[in-house]
Chains A and B, each alone.
Chain A
Amino acid sequence: MTLTIADVDHVASLARLGLTPEEREQMREQLSTILEHIALLNELDTEAIPPTAQVIALTNVMRDDEVRPSLPVEAVLANAPRRSGDYFEVHTPLGGDEELP
């Protein structure tokens, strides 16, 4: 599996990951090599095999629906790079130069 720079750019865009031109080329080479090793899986016929999502026997773990104390607002906002009152502050998500999904 050989990736193109366009593949790298598409995936980086999905991951919201800014890459330098050098990183893009290195990523293209290294991911292509890793995907070649991963292609080993194609020699197995897994048509009838169910996928494993998790390995333990627990399913549908529920808890009582009770109101409990949560972290104080000040503690949660203490690490915020930008805050506005009791809120995290961000750029406008839509409009401006943002592309719509």
Chain B
Amino acid sequence: MSAGNSSTWTELTSLTAAEARRLLDERKISAVELAEAHLARIEALEPTLHCHLHVMADVAREQAREADARIERGEAAPLTGIPISLKDVLCTMDAPTTAASRILEGYRSPYDATVVQKLREQGAVFVGKANTDEFAMGSSTENSAFGGTKNPWDTTRVPGGSSGGPAAAVASGEAILGLGSDTGGSIRQPAGFCGIVGVKPTYGRVSRYGLIAFASSLDQIGPFARTVEDAAILLEAIAGHDPADSTSSPLPVPTYRAALRPDLRGLRIGIAQEYSVPGMEPGVATAVEAAIDRLKELGAEIVPVSLPHTKYALPVYYITAPAEASANLARYDGVRYGLACEASSLREMYEKTRGRGFGAEVKRRIMLGTYALSSGYYDAYYVKAQKVRTLIKRDFDEAFERVDAIAVPTSPTVAFPLGARLDDPYQMYLADVFTVPANLAGIPGIAVPCGFSEGLPVSLQVLAKPFDEETALRVAYAYEQSEGWWRMRPPV
């Protein structure tokens, strides 16, 4: 697992975005060469990994030619010419957008997501629409209606999910950067399983316009990268207020790279005993403990904090997210777009279309959410969950009065075998046990590789105050630079 051994792992597909930027600007490489190297990598690996539902080869080549012209004019932006993989819940005008669902098979969006538009304006290169659990509902990418993605570290295992496609693509050199969405851990958990960096920004930091909605009070778009610096570059490119998303924050976007420093002096970092649960793998606990020792060596003061309502986060999430999903997915009714089944009445058409178009997990969540919102159960389930959500948020508010960041594991286990949790939905839900609290509280979190357990990546999660991505990135960066994990390449 030291260096990639396949012929298509080349110097070009090993570059970080920061390195590629320098080489492009110095004309040592061209954007076209960089795009071709990644497209070759995609062609070689896709039969094994299936990271992408749609490869945008023609678009990428055209964007790369334009990027070279722009660089030649001396007008390069930070992401001009950089190959990026987009989770297929982000609307793109020049490629299908399906959310990995039969109900949206072949759908072409009449507009771009705001994040997609921002990357286009920078001259980025889109290599493809990446795989996901259907409508981002899952923790393994096995719920994709078009077949799952394999983990590049071990192709008998899941890449995590729901953003397993872009995570595996960035880990395996099919793209330098990726964009995912995180509703309960869907960026951080697959980043952890695939040994890369993933950021869930503060709720409201990044516009959700053009993101296919799953749970609107929890969803955020965020970056995948192989280094913290690259994640900071991509976050800066996509963050900011958008008039088309009234929940996006008007706060100015910091220069995230300026926050990256090699030490942690003066920072107080909390650790929480509630993030040690039954079923936690010893190799994960050991790697995370070693990482926290390293944070101390880097100058941070380690402070125990209490997050007493952590164990309620998963039940709160599995009411809140399905409830919001049941409302959001009502739009898939066979009238305006997507699958439409023949029927003799409107009601029959709805039921047939939705019955055939949605997969098992999506149906389960629509049912669960509809139940929690239905007359007679609304107070007992939905309102109850929103009250406990307040307690979870208060836990973080109180902890962040004492510390600048909190360091915990990203997941209790490493990547699990394909199929291992498919028959037991609640076991699958437990994969998100350490990631859902940040979504419920709206705070930012970053997953950064912190070693290996039995040959599979382990991940440290750094949580910070709302709109303090800078501190989360700083902690992750100092840790990353003190170790060499990010240089490890999967054996594909």
Q: Whole-angstrom distance from the CB of A16 to the nearest CB of chain B? A: 4
Knowing A8-B367, A38-B318, the reply to whether A16 touches B350 (Cβ < 8 A) is yes
B73 CB–A CB distance under 8 Å = no
Smallest CB gap from A94: residue in B? B346
Instruction: Name the one of B249, B351, B355, B387 contacting A50, with C-beta atoms under 8 angstroms.
Output: B387
A21 CB–B CB distance under 8 Å = no
Whether A15 and B340, one on each chain, are in contact in the complex, defined by CB atoms closer than 8 angstroms, is: no
Whether A92 and B346, one on each chain, are in contact in the complex, defined by CB atoms closer than 8 angstroms, is: yes
Q: Whole-angstrom distance from the CB of B409 to the nearest CB of chain A? A: 21
Whether B318 and A44, one on each chain, are in contact in the complex, defined by CB atoms closer than 8 angstroms, is: no
Whether B346 and A91, one on each chain, are in contact in the complex, defined by CB atoms closer than 8 angstroms, is: yes
Knowing A11-B367, A44-B312, A56-B466, the reply to whether A63 touches B243 (Cβ < 8 A) is yes
Whether B367 and A27, one on each chain, are in contact in the complex, defined by CB atoms closer than 8 angstroms, is: yes
Knowing A46-B388, A58-B249, the reply to whether A19 touches B393 (Cβ < 8 A) is no
A60 to B335: give the CA distance in the assembly, Å: 32
Q: Mark A1-43, 1 if CB is under 8 A from B, else 0.
A: 0000001101110111111100100010011011001111110
B7 CB–A CB distance under 8 Å = no
B416 CB–A CB distance under 8 Å = no
A56 to B352: give the CA distance in the assembly, Å: 39
Instruction: Name the one of B384, B393, B425, B429 contacting A46, with C-beta atoms under 8 angstroms.
Output: B384
Query: How many residues of B are in contact with the other chain, CB < 8 A?
Result: 69
A47-68: which have CB < 8 Å to B? 49-56, 58, 61, 63
B-side interface mostly: helix
Q: Whole-angstrom distance from the CB of B6 to the nearest CB of chain A? A: 39
Residues on A with beta carbons closer than 8 Å to the beta carbon of B217: 53-55
Instruction: Name the one of B203, B314, B363 contacting A19, with C-beta atoms under 8 angstroms.
Output: B363
Whether A34 and B337, one on each chain, are in contact in the complex, defined by CB atoms closer than 8 angstroms, is: no
A71 to B391: give the CA distance in the assembly, Å: 42
Instruction: Name the one of B364, B391, B393 contacting A30, with C-beta atoms under 8 angstroms.
Output: B364
B331-373: which have CB < 8 Å to A? 333-340, 343-347, 349-352, 354-356, 358, 360, 363-364, 366-368, 370-371
Whether A55 and B203, one on each chain, are in contact in the complex, defined by CB atoms closer than 8 angstroms, is: yes
> In which size bucket is the chain A interface?
35 or more
Question: With contacts A11-B374, A31-B367, A52-B390 known, what are 13 further pairs, Cβ within 8 A?
Answer: A10-B374, A11-B367, A15-B366, A16-B347, A17-B351, A41-B316, A46-B391, A50-B390, A51-B383, A71-B111, A78-B108, A92-B346, A93-B346
Q: List 28 A-B contacts (CB under 8 A).
A: A7-B371, A11-B374, A17-B363, A19-B355, A23-B360, A27-B363, A34-B364, A34-B425, A38-B319, A41-B316, A44-B312, A46-B388, A51-B389, A52-B389, A53-B386, A56-B442, A56-B466, A58-B246, A58-B247, A61-B246, A71-B111, A76-B336, A79-B336, A80-B337, A91-B349, A92-B346, A97-B344, A97-B345
Which residues of chain B have a CB within 8 Å of any CB of chain A? Answer: 107-108, 110-111, 203-204, 217, 243, 246-247, 249, 309, 311-312, 314-316, 318-319, 326, 330, 333-340, 343-347, 349-352, 354-356, 358, 360, 363-364, 366-368, 370-371, 374, 381, 383-391, 393, 425-426, 429, 440-442, 466
